[in-house]
Chains A and B, each alone.
Chain A
């Protein structure tokens, strides 16, 4: 019963009539779906309604009615089942099945909250999202029949036709089938809505297993490896499907033996238990030893004969807890600005980790390996070209998906190689048999100059236009490229080494690349944790590789593009200092000078480059990152540790860390409340680092009493040198 008519009753009437006329389960033989006399016409009419009412008026009424009338699960799926079981030879049934597919695609099309929504959209979107999950559940698990396989079957005749002989209709059918697979891959239970039924049935694992069991993966592999030849127009959509399958999947866990994974999982469990234990211990340390109404109250003596009162027995323990409690009882919180959420969340939420069960892990791993072996190069080369050409089928979102997916598979290839060599070592235990090392040819399609150029250009554009999620994907991709190249350089194959050398030379040759990395790290301002993670990782990997490379190649040259010297011009102008006309002409000249950039080669000085990361904004970025220390893993904690170590002891700029909030964070990480897990090895490293930093700080406070006020603020460039070294900089150059 609807109290409010959300849909025009006439429309509802028509649509319901059509659905009823489509067919139904016969009364005598209740298991059998019987088609209505004019089923095909009904299907076409429904399609027309969707097109001419919903699409044309930008409404979602018909889609909602169809959801309420249970069209998909009640009619379409049984009809497709019928076709799969008995009707494949019949031309009429084949036509009907195609009409079903034509309805399935628009009805499973992802709906999202976006900025241009009407009232009508707001009304229907949650309902439709909910029903789409039900559609997916039905499609993945309809009775005993294979609906995915049935739908692939519909497109098979068009697939086997050679590309030259394919008609527009065939291409259309292929497109429908692929979009259908993509929609199925995208749909996932909305976390904001209450789940109905088993969530596991529509999870990523369920999708992957269905794709594997019903040969959707086989289809994808065939099409990907023939993308240049037989399937020209399908490249983007194929990549999209793969993106939605792999997004957020942890590569490390994918390439583990069952035993390893079991061990890993047990480790994780015991780690979690330990974590919980330590939380409990932490609480027990401060927990009251008597009942809640015992009513202790203490005075904290302050200056000027003032006192503060704090209640509770726990505060008797020591000053730290007392002061902590004093702070915690304050009610006011500084308002925090909230960042606006990105529009298309569902389409690109690769920051959310996806968990797979062991069967899905195995299936996905098989697919990933086969894809790397045959489909990777053809698909991604083709997609890159399409993106560069700005082909009509390419949407903005596809660029982001491209870079993320490339990065993901590069990581997968690296992890797979490590996995394989582990396995080989285990098999030939003891015997050191010579095994032909594989080359990196399998991923060479993205390790070429063209890809680097487009990656660099894309990063610059995203940075300039503040498209953070795009930049996030590109940073992850770039990091993976760097890591792959690093491993190639260590390959036993001479050819690989040479290529790696070449690539590194190219990557590190452009000074603009160096400056961009710096600008990204400096420019972090609440873009979210995923972005923070990506940009700190990139900076970490880039700096370390560059350091090693410039050490090995002492005479490394870089191409630096600089604006022509303007200071000189200005000085000249100062002498003339003429009338208005002159000035105008001068400013014109200046513009020209500005446009002309001087390009020259100069030798690279790593120390000077690393010094550029030594500034307050970079420090702030890493401090924000470290602030998540309770959720960070060892690798991430190490990354932050190395950075601060570099600041404090390699570049001798500890002063940048002498800020009360930073010291307070470091102190909390080691001594609590809520410290790091002290059983981890990285804890020891951190403890030592913090100890050293504090020691220097105490010493400095003695030497320079002004630091007591400066501890409150970010340092000003002109005073930071004095605070560190006790005298002014000798030279006048500014870095």
Chain B
């Protein structure tokens, strides 16, 4: 090759393709509309239990509910894996603050919340 011109025309231009970043199940995804907010809404709307005498079918209903929700939120992970990932996120500061808030929302007496 005649590269004496020094223009670098002959040199191949290296194109390193950026790998498509893999979607992550992180705090912001969990707190996004498809995450916990949706879980709370649809639980209120859809989850109905039969109660005493139907323990196992109720449990199945509950587990399926969570599985479908998780499948929507993060289709990549299997149910058990997804649960483990979310559990881990629950230790972070941000999520803990949010968890406290969700609980406080339903507490009857507001004056108890000062700690």
Contacts and interface: CB of A to CB of B under 8 A. Distances in A.
Given A661-B83, A728-B112, A705 B106 contact: yes
Contact of B40 (A671, A708, A723): A708
A332 B51 CA distance: 36
Contacts of B68: 302-303, 323
A727 B112 CA distance: 9
Interface stretch (A119-127, A397-405, A712-720): A712-720
Nearest to A666: B59
Given A327-B67, A709-B36, A719-B100, A714 B87 contact: yes
Given A303-B42, A694-B55, A320 B60 contact: yes
A168 interface: no
Interface string B32-48: 00001001101110010
Contact of B90 (A667, A714, A722): A714
Contacts of B71: 308, 326
Interface string B73-115: 0011111110111110011000110011011011100001001
A330 B59 contact: no
**How many A residues are at the interface, by size bracket?**
35 or more
Interface on chain B toward A: helix, strand, loop, or mixed SS? helix
A695 interface: yes
Given A333-B78, A334-B84, A709-B99, A663 B59 contact: yes
Interface in B46-64: 47, 49, 51-52, 55-56, 58-60, 62-64
Contact of B99 (A323, A704, A719, A727): A719
A709 B72 CA distance: 16
B65 to A, nearest CB: 9
Contacts of A373: none
Nearest to B49: A698
B84 A661 contact: yes
A303 to B, nearest CB: 7
Contacts of B112: 727-728
Given A660-B66, A698-B58, A712-B87, A722 B107 contact: yes
A308 B86 CA distance: 23
Contacts of A302: 68, 72
Nearest to B60: A320
A670 interface: yes
B52 A332 contact: no
B62 A695 contact: no
A303 B65 CA distance: 11
Given A323-B64, A708-B43, A716 B87 contact: no
Interface in A309-341: 319-320, 323, 326-328, 330, 332-334
A327 B79 contact: yes
A659 B87 CA distance: 9
Interface residues of B, number: 48
Interface centre among A306, A702, A706, A711 (most CB of B within 10 A): A706
Contacts, number: 124
B3 to A, nearest CB: 44
A671 B49 CA distance: 18
Nearest to B83: A661
A713 to B, nearest CB: 3
Contacts of A661: 80, 83-84, 87
A664 interface: yes
A691 interface: yes
B56 A667 contact: yes
B54 to A, nearest CB: 9
A624 to B, nearest CB: 12
Contact of A706 (B51, B60, B103): B103
A705 B43 contact: yes
Contacts of A334: 77-78, 81, 84-85
A671 B56 contact: yes
Contact of B58 (A694, A706, A711, A727): A694
Given A334-B81, A667-B56, A728-B112, A716 B96 contact: yes
B108 to A, nearest CB: 9
A694 B106 contact: no
Contacts of B59: 663, 667, 694, 697
Nearest to A306: B72
Given A302-B72, A334-B85, A722 B99 contact: no
A719 B101 CA distance: 11
B21 to A, nearest CB: 15
A319 B64 CA distance: 8
A333 B81 CA distance: 7
Contacts of B39: 708-709
Contact of A332 (B40, B58, B77, B103): B77
Nearest to A300: B68
Contacts of B99: 709-710, 713, 716, 719
A701 interface: yes
6 contacts: A303-B42, A323-B64, A326-B67, A327-B78, A667-B59, A718-B115
Given A327-B67, A663-B62, A695-B55, 6 more contacts: A332-B77, A332-B78, A694-B58, A698-B62, A705-B43, A714-B87
Closest 3 CB pairs of A and B: A713-B90, A334-B81, A694-B55
